[in-house]
């Protein structure tokens, strides 16, 4: 906690900002979320599903308020979180505790059908709030929006999984499921992959952590504690705001409301397996506001994204800022990228946010290489921008030099 970078500052001040919300279907456009069994793997991959049970110990925040009964309680909570004196008057947690628990995660490993030597580099991909592993492997126009397919085309292997509380992974209470647990789970996963598990007959020689948004925060937290666990880290949907960036200024308290979070089980029957601590985008338009930018997206891509969206948890929103992001001991390669108009990270304008190049100096001081890239025209949800492939190619070029 001693090195309090501007990056940490953003995390602290915008608690719920990166926090990619969560969605579901409005009565108005009445799509039913597809059953979670419709997970499609890319045609150019030789893929295998895994269920992984790890026991992890993490220092957890303990929810000390009544659990939400209904969306009136959610509205009251949104108010409490965003009032300007929230930190002085709103104290929803008891003292932190170290908690040991065992959960099961569902993931997919794909190796390329056509190998070229790159396959021993395993990309370990962690999605952000609002989605499950399908964020990386779109079945809508996969030639344009499927990152896993792109990586396989370049010859890389990919392990991508449903973070705790999403997709086919376990769904503990949303008043428990939080960042520290998920960071420990990702650490355990990376160690297992390093040891040759969950990668079919491939033995990983290099690991690259790939994150989006919340997944980028978790990936960074892993190399804070275990700097040798990855040779590379690709942080998408992320930036390092300067201290007067609007993300940490007057706009910040209102970011939470962009998601228009509502209890997941009131949004779609598909989320009835989760308690009231799971909250998602109130409707597709909240989702679009947070993740897309007109005119750089197809309505159909947004509708697809909505159909695969997942609620996040109250505790995920609340604990993002507790993850340490001071990765000075990390010696590998770093790429940081997001869309030009990312409203959750840069308050809608990323060029000035990226301009000071604070990343290397303050967060990755020991890194071999730090690169940044802004995807023109895109919002926070880079993988569903019309030009997602441009970002994938930048990532490919970065990977080629690890």
Ligand X SMILES: *[C@@H]1O[C@H](CO)[C@@H](O)[C@H](O)[C@H]1NC(C)=O
Should residue 96 be labelled a site residue for ligand X when binding is judged by CB under 6 A? yes
Q: How many CB atoms lie within 10 A of CB 191?
A: 15
Q: How close are the terminal C-alpha atoms of the chain, in Å? A: 29
Tokens coding 210: 């790939």
Instruction: Assess contact for 252 and 17: CB atoms under 8 A.
Output: yes
Instruction: Assess contact for 384 and 375: CB atoms under 8 A.
Output: no
Binding mask 264-293 for ligand X (x = CB under 6 A): ------------------------------
Q: Which residues of 293-311 are buried (b: 16+ CB within 10 A; e: fewer)?
A: beebbbeebbebbbbbbbb
Nearer to ligand X by Cβ, of 26 and 352: the residue is: 352
**Closest approach of Cβ 395 to ligand X, in Å?**
9
Tokens 């789970």 belong to: 185
Please pick, from the candidates 40, 64, 76, 115, the single residue that binds ligand X as defined by CB under 6 A.
76
Task: Please give the helix or strand (H or E) that residue 264 lies within, else none.
Answer: helix 264-267
Cα dihedral 199, 202, 204, 210 sign: negative
Phi, psi of 111 (to 5 degrees): -110, 155
Q: How far is CA 179 from the centre of its chain?
A: 11
- DSSP structure class, residue 119: G
Please pick, from the candidates 97, 143, 205, 228, the single residue that binds ligand X as defined by CB under 6 A.
97
Residues 105-144 that bind ligand X (CB under 6 A): 116-118
Tokens coding 59: 């220092």
**Closest approach of Cβ 188 to ligand X, in Å?**
16
Should residue 65 be labelled a site residue for ligand X when binding is judged by CB under 6 A? yes
Taking every pair of Cα atoms in the chain, the longest distance, rounded to a whole number of angstroms, is 58
**Closest approach of Cβ 310 to ligand X, in Å?**
22
Should residue 396 be labelled a site residue for ligand X when binding is judged by CB under 6 A? yes
**Closest approach of Cβ 80 to ligand X, in Å?**
4
Should residue 315 be labelled a site residue for ligand X when binding is judged by CB under 6 A? no
Q: How far apart are CA 401 and CA 53, in angstroms?
A: 34
Nearer to ligand X by Cβ, of 90 and 93: the residue is: 90
Please pick, from the candidates 7, 63, 77, 292, the single residue that binds ligand X as defined by CB under 6 A.
77
Q: How far is CA 116 from the centre of its chain?
A: 29
Nearer to ligand X by Cβ, of 246 and 328: the residue is: 246
Please pick, from the candidates 2, 53, 88, 98, the single residue that binds ligand X as defined by CB under 6 A.
98
Nearest to 341 by CA among 286, 278, 280, 295: 295
Should residue 155 be labelled a site residue for ligand X when binding is judged by CB under 6 A? yes
Tokens coding 94: 């008891």
User: Environment class of residue 116 by beta-carbon count within 10 Å: exposed (0-12), middle (13-18) or buried (19+)?
Assistant: exposed
Nearer to ligand X by Cβ, of 30 and 89: the residue is: 89
**Total of residues contacting ligand X (CB under 6 A):** 23
Should residue 89 be labelled a site residue for ligand X when binding is judged by CB under 6 A? yes
Should residue 70 be labelled a site residue for ligand X when binding is judged by CB under 6 A? no
**Closest approach of Cβ 20 to ligand X, in Å?**
21
Nearer to ligand X by Cβ, of 154 and 248: the residue is: 154
Should residue 246 be labelled a site residue for ligand X when binding is judged by CB under 6 A? no
Should residue 242 be labelled a site residue for ligand X when binding is judged by CB under 6 A? yes
Should residue 347 be labelled a site residue for ligand X when binding is judged by CB under 6 A? no
Should residue 100 be labelled a site residue for ligand X when binding is judged by CB under 6 A? no
Tokens 């909570």 belong to: 77
**Closest approach of Cβ 30 to ligand X, in Å?**
29
Q: How far apart are CA 43 and CA 149, in angstroms?
A: 8
Should residue 80 be labelled a site residue for ligand X when binding is judged by CB under 6 A? yes
Should residue 258 be labelled a site residue for ligand X when binding is judged by CB under 6 A? no
Should residue 175 be labelled a site residue for ligand X when binding is judged by CB under 6 A? no
Binding segment for ligand X (CB under 6 A), chosen from 34-42, 69-77, 125-133, 323-331, is 69-77
CA distances from 236 to 23, 211, 391 (A): 20, 6, 9
Residues that bind ligand X in the complex, under the rule CB under 6 A: 59, 65, 73, 76-77, 80, 89-90, 96-98, 116-118, 154-155, 242, 244, 352, 356, 396, 399-400
């Amino acid at each position: 906690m001693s090195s309090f970078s501007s990056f940490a500052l953003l995390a602290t001040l915008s608690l719920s900002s990166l926090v990619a919300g969560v969605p579901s279907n409005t009565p108005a456009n009445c799509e039913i979320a597809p059953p979670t069994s419709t997970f499609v793997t890319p045609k150019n991959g030789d893929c295998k599903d895994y269920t992984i049970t790890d026991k992890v110990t993490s220092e957890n925040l303990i929810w000390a308020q009544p659990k939400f009964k209904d969306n009136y309680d959610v509205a009251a909570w949104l108010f409490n979180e965003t009032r300007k004196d929230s930190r002085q008057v709103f104290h929803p947690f008891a003292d932190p505790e170290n908690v040991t628990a065992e959960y099961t995660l569902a993931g997919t490993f794909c190796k390329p059908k056509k190998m070229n030597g790159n396959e021993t580099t395993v990309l370990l991909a962690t999605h952000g709030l609002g989605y499950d592993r399908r964020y990386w492997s779109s079945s809508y126009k996969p030639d344009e929006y499927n990152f896993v397919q792109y990586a396989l085309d370049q010859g890389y292997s990919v392990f991508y999984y449903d973070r705790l509380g999403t997709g086919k992974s376990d769904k503990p209470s949303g008043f428990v499921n939080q960042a520290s647990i998920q960071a420990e789970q990702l650490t355990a996963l990376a160690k297992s992959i390093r040891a040759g598990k969950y990668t079919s007959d491939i033995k990983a020689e290099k690991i690259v952590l790939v994150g989006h948004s919340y997944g980028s925060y978790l990936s960074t937290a892993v190399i804070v504690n275990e700097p040798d666990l990855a040779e590379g880290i690709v942080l998408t949907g992320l930036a390092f705001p300067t201290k007067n960036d609007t993300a940490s200024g007057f706009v910040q308290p209102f970011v939470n409301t962009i998601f228009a979070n509502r209890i997941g089980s009131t949004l779609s029957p598909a989320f009835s397996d989760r308690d009231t601590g799971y909250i998602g985008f109130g409707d597709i338009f909240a989702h679009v506001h947070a993740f897309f930018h007109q005119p750089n997206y197809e309505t159909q891509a947004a509708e697809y994204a909505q159909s695969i969206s997942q609620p996040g948890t109250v505790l995920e929103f609340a604990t993002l800022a507790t993850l340490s992001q001071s990765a000075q001991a990390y010696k590998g390669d770093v790429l940081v990228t997001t869309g030009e108009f990312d409203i959750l990270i840069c308050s809608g304008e990323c060029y000035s946010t990226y301009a000071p190049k604070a990343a290397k100096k303050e967060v990755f001081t020991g890194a071999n290489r730090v690169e940044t890239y802004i995807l023109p025209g895109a919002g926070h949800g880079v993988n569903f921008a019309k030009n997602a492939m441009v970002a994938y190619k930048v990532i490919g070029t970065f990977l080629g030099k690890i």
